[in-house]
Structures are given as C-alpha cells and as structure tokens.
Amino acid sequence: MENGFSSPRNDSFPAGLRVLVVDDDPTWLKILEKMLKKCSYEVTTCGLARDALSLLRERKGGYDIVISDVYMPDMDGFKLLEHVGLEMDLPVIMMSVDGETSRVMKGVQHGACDYLLKPIRMKELRNIWQHVFRKKIHEVRDIEILEGIEFQMTRNGSDQYEDGHFLCGEDLTLIKKRKDIESRHDEKDIGDNSSSKKARVVWSVELHQKFVKAVNQIGFDKVGPKKILDLMNVPRLTRENVASHLQKYRLYLSRLQKENDFNNPVGMIKQSDSPSSDSNGNFGSQNSINLQDASNGCYGFSGSSLGVHNVDPRNHDGDRKRLVTAPVAEPKRGVTIDPPNPSKPRNSQMEFGHPLAPPQSEVNFARFDFSFPTKYPWCGVPETQLKQEHNPLHLNDGFSRQPMPGQKQLSRADHPQPAPAISSATSSTERQTGCPVKIKPSHNDYTSNANHASAVDSTPLQTKTNMTDHQAVQENQGLNMNCLADLESPRKNINLGTLPFATLDEDLQVCFVAGDYYMNLGLQNIEVQEYFDPGLLTGVPTHLDDGLRFDYEIYDPTEYSLIDQSLFI
Amino acid sequence: MERTQLRRQVALTRQSLFDQGFLDEQFIQLEDLQDDANPNFVEEVVTLYYRDSARLITNIEKALEKNSLDFNKLDGFMHQFKGSSSSIGAKKVKAECTLFREYCRAGNGEG
C-alpha cells in the first residue's frame, strides 16, 4: 500500500517497519514485542491466528511483515502462512521451538520467507526487514517481466502462449520467459515499471472480480496484464498491479491444482510448489491441497495442456490436475466469452475440446471463468468445498468412472465459479458449470461426505450433469452449477451422482481452484482460496474443506457473490 | 547497606542459577531488553511465564491422571511448555520437556 510504506519507511528504513506477531504463548508475545520495539519497529501482537487474519484484512497494507508461530491452537501456522501469502502477499516468518528439517522445509514450501528457532535472538529479528525489501524488489521486477511477456505476446500473437508455457502459471515458465523477454525487452515500454515504487494496490473483491472477469474474457491462455487492464477499465490500476496480481492468481491456481493432483504425478503440477509432498501429505491438510489445486488449476489454464489426464480414478488429485490441464488445451477460451448462456454455452464449453475428454478440464476452466460469475455461490461453496476434502477421492472416483475423464475436469473447471457462484447456479450456473460443475452435482448427490455435499454444492461444479444434479447441487449449495447441466449430457456421465464424490471433488476442486483463485484475488481473502478447493474438489472436499473451511469462516457470503462475478469473467 | 547486601544476594542467586544450568543465555537476552522504559521487564515476563505455565502444568497433571494416557495430547502440552520455557531461558525445564516428549513418543507411561 502506498500509504503504508511511505511514511515509516522513507526516513530510515527499516525503522518503522510494521510487524504483526502471532503466537499463542503470551510470554513470547511479550518478549517479541519488546525485542521488535527495540529494533524500532512498530509491533502489533495477536494471540489467535483468526484475529490476526481479520486484522490483516481490515487493514490491508497496514503491515509489512508477519511473524507467526507454527503450533497454534486455533489454526495451523502453515495455513495462516498460506492465507497471508495469497491474500495479502506479505512476507511471513515462521518460528518454533521445533527446528527439524522437515518442519523447516514445510515452512518454506508453504511460502515462508524465513524460519526462526525459538528462543529468538535480537539479532535475528533485526534482519527481518530484508524480507520486506526483497519482496518489493521482486514485485517490481516481476511486473516488468510480465509486462515484457505481455508485450511479447501481443506482438507475436498467440503462438507464444499457445505453447502453453508462456502463460503458465508456473513460475518456472515465467522465469524462463522472463529471461527471454528481458533480452528482447528494449522496445517494450518499461516506463510504467520504472515509475515506481509500485504503489500497493488493494485488490478488493470487486476489483478482483473484475480481474477474473477480464481474464476469463480474454481467455486464460491469452491473458496478459495489458489486456486485462484494458478490460477492467479501472482508472488507477497500472499494468504492474495487474501483472503481479495475475501472477499470484496463477500461483494460487496452480497450487490448488497441485493439491488436487498431488497424487497424480502428472505434469500438471508443474508448479514448483512442492505439490507432491505437500499435496500428498496435505491432502488432508487443505492447505496443500488447495495449493495443488491452484497449481493444477493453473496448469489447466496455462494452456500447457497438462494433459488433462483422464480422469483416472486415481486420486482426486489427479483428477484435479486433469481438469486443470485440460482446460488449457482446449480452445475453450472462446467459451468463456460466452455470456453465461445457461443453456448453450455450457455445452459448448464443456465439450470444447473433448467432450468429455480431458480437455474438458480446460474447458471447464475456460468456462468457469466466465460462466461462473453468476454462479458464485461462493458463499455457499466455500463451505462445501471444505467438505470436499472429505471426499477428495470421491470426485476422482466419480470422475474416473465417468467415461469422460474430461468431464470431470470440466467439473473442475466449473468450480471456480461454482464456489460461490454455484449457489446462484440457478440459471447461470448452468451454463458454466456445464462442465465442471456437473461433477459437482453428482457430488452433491454423493455428498458422500456430507460436508462435501455442501461444499460441493457450493461448487456448482458438481459435474453431475448439472441438470439433474443441478437441482441437487443447488440444494446443497446453490452452487448447482446447473449450468453444467446443460453440458452435462456428456457430462452426465460424470454426474457424479453415480460417481463417488471423491472423484468429483477432485475435479471440481480443480475447477474451483481456478475459480477460487480468482475469487481470492479479488477478495484478497484467504477465503477465496478456499473456494477453489471446495469447488474443485467436490470430490476432494475433505481436504479442501478443511483448508477451505477455515478460510470460509471468514468469508462472507457477500464476498462470494462478488467473487462470482469476477470469477465468471 | 541492606540494599547492597540484597543486591549481592540477588546476584549470587542469579549466578548460581546459571551455574546449575537452570538458566541459559536467553535470560541474558531478556535482561538486555530491560531498559529505562521498562524497568521491570524481566519481572513481568517471568510473572507471565509462571502464570501461563501454572495453567499448563495443571492441564498436564489432569492428563496424567487419566488411566489411559493420551500421549499425543501430552506431547502437545510439552511442546507448549518447552516453547514457553525457552522464552525465558529456563534451560532445565526445557530439557525435561524434551525428555518427557521422548517418553511420550515411545509411549512410555512410566517415564
């Protein structure tokens, strides 16, 4: 936030750094507060992770860095870490008495900037400002790169992104491209980049929704900061803002995807996130899964045809991934543009590439984006999504069963929307969810996991041939991606109704991830993240639910609706 | 005079605590944090610690009284306790906690 940074930092950085400390132990809170004050930082202490999150959300840009304990009663430190990273993109430092390598690795995997061992020394605290500084620098650089890439894209047309790597959410790809772009950067006008110190823009829900909408409109593959910016048509928004936001969004999607897929080694998880390790382990721990999903989701979108791997029954994760990947391949994008024509677009979308074939996932994605807008029953979804975790496998199963692996994916794709949107599924969802959502409906039916059902429902993705499930879904969450129903015909196969929820969940989750991701971005809430899971995971809900659930708590229904809009893009 | 004597006593006690391994350098860190703005900082922190750990110990005792020991819960308590004690530099307590946790992991109720 521009406001946040300017005053304290100008005179004598790092003095005046605004730190938020989260720890359940009051003794430590006091000690840390004193230590930080000695470093001339501004300290705020918090005993509960929940409070910390709400504090962060209330005052976006009110803090520069967060220090959190790993073991806390109400929320796992890693989860908090993820939320903060996704919603506010603040550097987070973990600390604990336990200094085992595995723990430290987990921290880093979840995005921690640093891991301190208790007891903490003063000198260790003195240097935390470097993380804040580093992040700032990277942000500016990333934006430039993205700009460059975007520039490239526009110039070269779609070839680049069609390759898939270009737009891959993956950082790796970006990094690679970055190098390329940088080398050919000259013509690009870096003017914007240089201008700043990027003012930190707060991605409000509306803004995020617009963003998601724009992204969907353009087509995930083709998306570029400039295009998004133009579409969003927000006066004070700069390309850098959009670029960095986009990057985060992609990360989120890919992470979610990864979670979903963690079981599936499929390339989907390209994301550098340690999806596999995390996902596997985390499957239960929503966080990781969500990430996976996100990542998976990203995959799908990135066009890098992750290979929408057929929905094999394998873990829902795999499914998720598939969904993600699939979308990319398919030209679904076009679909996204379709206005949520409930009846028709969906079919087209879902079917896009492969009527149920894995591409569906892609399609789903494409679809989600825009179709969901209405659907975002997010509100409802998040809850269900969490549930999804339970069923994580369900989805997959469901999907895998489905003849159309692709379908599953579709469901996934839908999920982005479904999450909150699903509730609105009433009509709009139909269109969108056609693909992914469908799965959900089935899930809902399944709701094997009672939770899932709810979560799943929310994620209209319910692949269940939406139509039928649609109702069911709606019941659950309203997510009813009924829209999907339209598409469903092929999907019906997927209709998870028959399929185990798990499968759907996965698929759905995948979908959601994408959806969630958008939402999150817009919402800036962690909750958004949640969405993905639920939506996507309908099958997977179990793990997602947990993760999501957590977030959802905070998530208010109102946000969901917003997200829907944006997601739908 | 008395004051000096008292001070000397305090210093001796403090030194012995260090020597016996009850306290470690973290305590010194705390002392360094104390300054004019917070003259009783160390005292406050230690008081806080006592209060918090008293509560924790009660919980632990309750958990130990049960017939079937819930090692996971005990482990959790120990972790908390360990963290707290490390905050003020209570070395020995921390060591005991670690030992306790080992027993928990091994499922050793007697330990």
pLDDT digits (tens, 9 = 90+) for A186-230: 444 444 444 444 445 667 766 777 777 777 777 767 777 777 777
Task: State residue A113's pLDDT score.
Answer: 85
State which of A139-143, B36-40, B59-63 shows the largest mean pLDDT.
Answer: B59-63
How far is the first Cα of chain A from the last one, in angstroms, to the nearest whole number? 26
Residues of chain B with C-beta less than 8 angstroms from the C-beta of A119? 26, 29, 86-87, 89
Task: Determine if the peptide bond prior to A119 is cis (ω within 30°).
Answer: yes
Residues A377/A563, Cβ–Cβ less than 8 Å: no
| Between A150 and A360, residue with greater pLDDT | A150
Residues A450/A535, Cβ–Cβ less than 8 Å: no
Distance (Å, whole) CA A16 – CA A401: 57
Residues A383/A457, Cβ–Cβ less than 8 Å: no
State which of A95-104, A251-260, A396-405 shows the largest mean pLDDT.
Answer: A95-104
Label residue A154 by pLDDT band (50, 70, 90): low
| Between A107 and A206, residue with greater pLDDT | A107
Residues of chain B with C-beta less than 8 angstroms from the C-beta of A96? 83
- A107: amino acid identity, one letter: G
| Between A71 and B95, residue with greater pLDDT | A71
Distance (Å, whole) CA A444 – CA A73: 32
Contact: A30, B48; criterion CB under 8 Å: yes
Number of helices and strands in chain A (H, E): 32, 7
φ, ψ dihedrals at A27, nearest 5°: -60, -45
Distance (Å, whole) CA A519 – CA A513: 9
Residues A540/A396, Cβ–Cβ less than 8 Å: yes
Among A68, A72, A97, A121, the strongest candidate for a mutation testing the B interface, having the largest count of B CBs within 10 A, is A97
Q: Provide the H-helix boundaries in A39-100.
A: 49-58, 77-83
How far is the first Cα of chain B from the last one, in angstroms, to the nearest whole number? 48
Angle between helices A344-351 and A482-494 (to 10 degrees): 40
Q: Which residue on chain A is closest to B83 by alpha carbon?
A: A97
3-state secondary structure of B12: helix
Per residue in A302-353, pLDDT tens?
A: 333 333 333 333 434 434 434 333 333 333 333 333 343 444 433 333 333 3
Question: What residues of B are in the A interface, CB distance below 8 Å?
Answer: 26, 29-30, 32-33, 38, 41, 44-45, 48-49, 52, 76, 79-80, 82-84, 86-89
